[in-house]
Structure 1
Amino acid sequence: MKRSIGRAIPSTDSLVIFDACVRSMNFTQAGNALGLTQSAVSRQILDLEQFLNVALFERAGRHLTLTAPGKRYWEEVTPLLEELEAKTIRMQMRHTLQNALNLSVAASFCNRWLIPKLPQFLEQNPRALVNVASRVGPIDLSRTEFDAAIINAPSPPQGVMTKLLFSIRLAAFASPGLLKKKRRLTASDIATLPLLHLTGMPDAWETYLHRMGLDDVRVSAGAHYSLWLLSCEAALAGLGVALLPPELVAEDVKAGRLIRLSQIEIPRNLSYWLAWRETEDNSPALQAFRDWLDSRCPAI
């Protein structure tokens, strides 16, 4: 069989065929998936077994089962094949496009701000490719394949370059159906409505109503949501009033899907930041993306 030159490993072709056989447990089906004959697949597996000096499959007529060594080898080798494929694709993308950007984005910002506006960036940068992964919680860019990340944090993360996008403030929003055509609401009116709570900010409604002038603040119990994204969807569905960053619902307010209940805002000790490794500072895609954010964030 073919083997890697200078390495005590089989060829990737034989490993790919082995993986296909495990997934289908049928040499004919594996061959059909790979464009090979059943005999060619069988021969490759036999050669691989001889190379490893171990039986990978038990054969009973047309029925296949993995041996214990075969199962262990497949579980160890498959992740390496997937990692090799991912890194190869990434290298191909960088070579052909020269403008690929792998971006990790805080979940609520990703769904409610970035994705709806991303077509504008791509229209201005038609050769750019932005790969987006939504994420909850902190990220260590030194341990990931991402070029940059958009996060929310009290202060800029250490060890990376950063750009402040905007500081987070919260205002109250509700669907028109929940308000029953009543647009001018006092703090007492709002306090009687179903209030949607963010799990990580238990004092937010008390602070907001106090800022509106309600001295005897009695916040009603209500549903709790772990993300602004979920609170926003709940408010759009008419489940209650949500405290949200205005930047994340600007289009919903403009379209009349949500109504802002007052001009009161309460600051939170959080901001959205763009963070990137210093080694990526000269990336054309990242530079273009930063410039685009510069043009968008002052307006919001």
Structure 2
Amino acid sequence: MKKTIGRTIPSSDALTIFDACVRRMNFTQAGDALGLTQSAVSRQIKDLEEFLNVSLFERSGRHLTLTDSGRDYWEKVVPLLDELEAVTVRIQMRHTLRNSLDLSVAGSFCNRWLIPNLPDFLKENPGILVNVTSRVGPIDLTRSQFDAAIINSPTQPAGTTTAKLFPLTLAAYGAPGLLPGAGKLDAETIASLPLLHLKEMPDAWSDYLAGMGLPNLKVTAASFYSLLLLSCEAALAGLGIALLPPEFVGEDVKAGRLVRLSQHSIQTKYSYWLAWQSTQAESEALLAFRRWLEARCG
């Protein structure tokens, strides 16, 4: 069979045919999907088995089942095919567009800030494509396919070039139907309401109420949420009062879906950063995106 020149790996055609057969467990249907005859598919699978020196399928008439070796090989090969295809598509897109940016974004920032504002960037920068992946947790840009990342971190991310977007400041918000009346609320009233807590900042409500004159108050929780995004959605649903970044809920406040309970706010140890590798410093797309972000967040 054909193999990749200089490599002890089969051709991508053989692997694609193998994947199609596994997904359908039928050589004829796999051939129909790929525009090949049943005999051509069968021959490719036979050649692949000879190349690997293992049986990939057990055959019983027209019925196919994967062998243990076949399943193990398929589970390892498919992610590699998917990544090869993704890399190829990205390269093709870079040739057809003026520029593109592959961006990893902290989950809450992505949903509550970037996506609602991104149409403005694309309108101001026609021809630039921004590919967005929402992510929770740290990322190592040196070992990823991303050009840049928006990160929520207490310190400047190490090993990258960064621009600080804004510090994470929290204020109290709630759905109108959950509040005892119109106007700003005092600390005692806020403390009496169901309070939604963030797992990463379990002392945030204690700090907030202490700043309003209620130190050492034992704060009870309505529920704990792992992300600012989830805490925001819970507040919108009327499940409790949440501490949220004002940058994330401006449109909800304007529309009357949320009400800010007090002018008081607290600044957390976290900030949002745009981070990128030095090799991307001259990227037209990254430069335009960075300037736009800094203008919006500054």
Q: TM-score range by the shorter chain?
A: over 0.9
Any idea what the Cα deviations from partners look like across 1:105-158, whole Å, max 9, x if unmatched?
111111100011111111111211111111112111111111111111122112
Deviations 1:165-203 (A, max 9, x none): 011111110111111443232111111111111112222
User: Normalising to structure 1: TM-score of the pair?
Assistant: 0.93
Higher mean C-alpha deviation, range 60-69 or range 208-217 = 208-217
Cα RMSD (Å) of the superposition? 1.7
Q: What does residue 60 of structure 2 align with?
A: 60
Q: Is the 8 Å Cα contact of residues 174 and 240 (structure 1) preserved in structure 2?
A: yes
Report what 1:196 is aligned to.
196
How far did residue 99 of structure 1 move?
Answer: 1.4
Q: Which amino acid in structure 2 is aligned with residue 79 of structure 1?
A: P
The amino acid across from 2:283 in the alignment is: S
CA-CA distance at 1:216 after TM superposition: 6.2
- Give me the TM-score of the superposition, normalised by structure 2: 0.94
Counterpart for residue 101 of structure 1 = 101
Equivalent position of 2:74 in the other structure: 74
Q: Find the counterpart in structure 2 of residue 133 from structure 1.
A: 133
Cα deviation code 1:193-248 (max 9, x no counterpart): 11111112222112211212235634233211111111111110111111111111
Equivalences for residues 111-190 of structure 1 within 5 A? 111-190=111-190
Hey, what does 2:226 align to over in structure 1? 226
Q: Distance in 2 between matches of 1:272 and 1:86?
A: 28
The residue that corresponds to 2:17 in the other structure is 17
- Cα 1:214–1:9, aligned 2, differ >3 Å: closer, same or farther? closer
Pairwise CA distance, 1:35: 1.9
Matches of 1:249 and 1:159 in 2, distance apart?
32
Q: Provide the aligned length of Structure 1 versus Structure 2.
A: 298
**Partners of 1:269 and 1:216 in 2: CA distance:** 21
3-state secondary structure, aligned to 1:257: coil
Quick one: distance in 1 between partners of 2:157 and 2:238? 37
2:212 corresponding residue in structure 1 = 212
User: Contact 1:168–1:270 (CA<8 Å) still a contact in 2?
Assistant: yes
Instruction: Supply the AA of the counterpart residue of 2:203.
Output: D
What is the aligned-residue identity percentage? 68
Query: Are the equivalent residues in 2 in contact too, given 1:196–1:225 (CA < 8 A)?
Result: yes
* Cα distance change of structure 1 residues 191 and 9 upon mapping to structure 2, 3 Å threshold: closer
Q: Which residue of 2 aligns with 1:29?
A: 29
Q: Which secondary structure state, in structure 2, belongs to the residue aligned with residue 242 of structure 1?
A: strand
Give, in whole Å, the separation in 2 of the partners of 1:112 and 1:226: 15
One-letter code aligned to 2:296: R
Q: Where does residue 269 of structure 1 map in the other structure? A: 269
Give unpaired runs (5+ residues) of structure 2. Answer: none
Residues in 1 aligned to 2:183 and 2:41: alpha-carbon distance in whole angstroms: 71
Seen in structure 2, the aligned counterparts of structure 1 residues 40 and 204 have a Cα distance that, compared at 3 Å, is: same
**Does the C-alpha gap of structure 1 residues 217 and 90 become closer, same or farther in structure 2, counting only changes over 3 Å?**
same
